[in-house]
Structure 1
Amino acid sequence: MLRIQQLVKRYGHDEPVLKGLDLEVPDESVVSIIGASGAGKSTLLRCINRLVEPTSGSIELNGAELTRLHGNELRKARRRIGMIFQGFNLVDRLTVMENVQCGRLGYIPYWRAALRKYSTEDIDRAYTLMERVGIAHYANKRADELSGGERQRVGVVRALMQNPEILLADEPTASLDPVSSRQIMELLQTLAQELQLPVLINIHNVAEAREYTQRIVGMRFGRLIFDGKPEDLDQSAMDTVYSGTPAEDRQQAEQDTSKAVVS
């Protein structure tokens, strides 16, 4: 269970990016976060894993208060939070297996990682996970030789190698073609059920949010202004989330909604 209470993030003396935000994400649930650019979606995810330091508020993961941790305790907590990035964040010159093993960096000494001294247990688990997502045959292939969808699958396995208690996905399909996007969203949906993991996805594509997540949270100007089931996200709710935002954001949201209705 992820529980966020009164979360605030302010940069300098500017207006807060996050304004007293409250959110709970139970186990085995897939929750999407929608909203225009600048709504605070990415900042929220980065506050959860402490890539960005919250200004105030509480972030609790399975009983552990993350905002109070520092040093080694913070390092241990971060390894329980799997992160999937829009830009994949792979090391292109390394093989798929080597990139996947980067998910173990929070658990093994640096010298072992530098010398690529992976344990038999970690190698076996990597193969099992790669087989599960369909990339085991690429184990010895360089990351820069893969397609976008394949690279994102490597990112998913790398996150799972952490044995995470939650998965955070920051625009995981934004760099992918439509077919690969659907495959990645289906994969995240299935993994949440199989591994009993909560998954929190920051996403611009409203159609994908409707189809692949159990709950949609809408953000605007650092606040949560919608929280409900996909079928509850009607045109009125869409207007509330995207009203007053740049025309291109509103247009894209409307297109995504139309796609969802057609499908």
Structure 2
Amino acid sequence: MLKITDLVKRYGSGGDPVLKNLDLTIEGESVVSIIGSSGAGKSTLLRCINRLVEPTSGSIVLNGTELTKLSGSNLRAARRKIGMVFQGFNLVERLTVMENVQSGRLGYISTWAAITRRYPKQDIRRAYELMERVGIAHYANTRADQLSGGERQRVGVVRALMQDPDILLADEPTASLDPKTSEQIMGLLRDLAGELKLPVLINIHNVTEAKEYTDRIVGMRYGRIIFDDLPEKLDQDAMDRIYSGSPHADRGEDPVAAQ
């Protein structure tokens, strides 16, 4: 379970916070989407969870571990359990699919094994299982720069799953893809969540895909959660509150410029 309590993120000492006393709980194998305009704080929220961005205050607890209090080796160990799928894929283009996938195990194997690419046999077997599941096993020895966008994102998904994560975060995983491929990736994330009993938290701009492929929608505006319910509850009034009007119509807050 992921439990976020009173989370605040402020850049600099004088500006408005990007995240404002935010509370959020994610349980089980649910697929949760986060929607909202640019500047709502969606990406910042995901990056606070895996500590790519340092929270200003508040609590982030994953399966009993308080992530905000960790540092050094303890933080590195905790990050192993937080898989991340990126909008821009974040692959090493000159490396093969297998080599990119195995980078998800860097937190578990020795530096020497990583440098020499002497991957443990069980990791290779697991990589082939996952690559077969997402339809890219035949590309195992193909360089990443020879793949299509959808194929690259599948590599990114497998790399994240190779961490054996307790939660999977996806930051605009379909933004660089065509509509058909976007639907395939969203369907894949939904199906994997069920198969692996894995909670998935997705930052997404496409509201139609959020409604179709996720179990729960969280709507953010100016650093606050103003909608948190089932997809069928996201009516026009909720959409207007998330995307329309002035910031003063919400909670008397000014908009923030960062996402």
- Tell me, yes or no, whether TM beats 0.5: yes
Q: Please state how far the C-alpha of 1:130 moved relative to its aligned partner.
A: 0.2
Where does 1:79-158 land on structure 2 (aligned, <5 Å)?
79-158=80-159
Partner of 1:4: 4
Residue 79 of structure 2 is matched in structure 1 by 78
| Aligned counterpart, 1:49 | 50
Deviation digits for residues 57-94 of structure 1 (CA, Å, limit 9, x no counterpart): 00000111100101000000001000000000000000
Give yes or no for the alignment of 1:31 onto 2:32: yes
Aligned equivalents of 2:9, 2:108: Cα separation in 1: 30
Q: SS of the residue aligned with 1:183? A: helix
Q: Secondary structure at 1:76's aligned position in 2?
A: helix
Measured against aligned partners, the alpha-carbon deviations of 1:91-147 in whole angstroms (never above 9, x if no partner) come to 000000000000001111222111111010000000000000000000000000000
Cα distance in 2 for partners of 1:221, 1:109 equals: 43
Structure 2 residue 203 is matched with structure 1 residue 202:
yes
Question: How high is the sequence identity, in percent, across the aligned residues?
Answer: 76
Residue of structure 2 in register with 1:160 after alignment = 161
Could you tell me which runs of 5 or more consecutive residues in structure 1 were left unpaired when the two chains were aligned: 246-263
TM-score (norm 2): 0.94
Helix, strand or coil for the counterpart of 1:207? helix
Measure the CA separation in 2 of the matches of 1:8 and 1:105. 31
- Residue type at the aligned position of 2:106: L
SS where residue 16 of structure 1 aligns? coil
Residue 213 of structure 1 and its aligned partner are, at CA, apart by 0.3
1:241 Cα deviation from its structure 2 partner: 0.2
Q: CA deviation at 1:244?
A: 3.2
In the alignment, the residues of structure 2 paired with residue 175 and residue 92 of structure 1 have an alpha-carbon distance, to the nearest angstrom, of 16
Q: Equivalents in 2 of 1:117, 1:182: separation in Å?
A: 36
Distance of 2:45 and 2:111 partners within structure 1: 29
Hey, what's the Cα distance between the residues in 2 that align with 1:99 and 1:165? 21
> 1:223 matched to which residue of 2?
224
Moved over 2 A (4+): none
Residue identity in the other structure for 1:57: G
Q: 2:193 is matched with which residue?
A: 192
- Equivalent residue pairs, number: 246
Deviation sequence 1:22-80 (CA, Å, 0-9, x none): 00000100000000001000000000000000000000001111001010000000010
**Deviation readout 1:152-192 (Å, 9 max, x if unpaired):** 00000000000000000000000001111011000000000
Q: Distance in 2 between matches of 1:180 and 1:61?
A: 31
Provide the rounded CA distance (Å) in 1 between the counterparts of 2:28 and 2:65. 15
State the one-letter code of the partner of 2:161.
L
Distance 1:114 1:57 in 2: 38
Partner SS state of residue 218, structure 1: strand
Q: CA RMSD in A?
A: 1.0
Return 5+ residue gaps in structure 2 as ranges.
247-259
TM-score by length of 1: 0.92
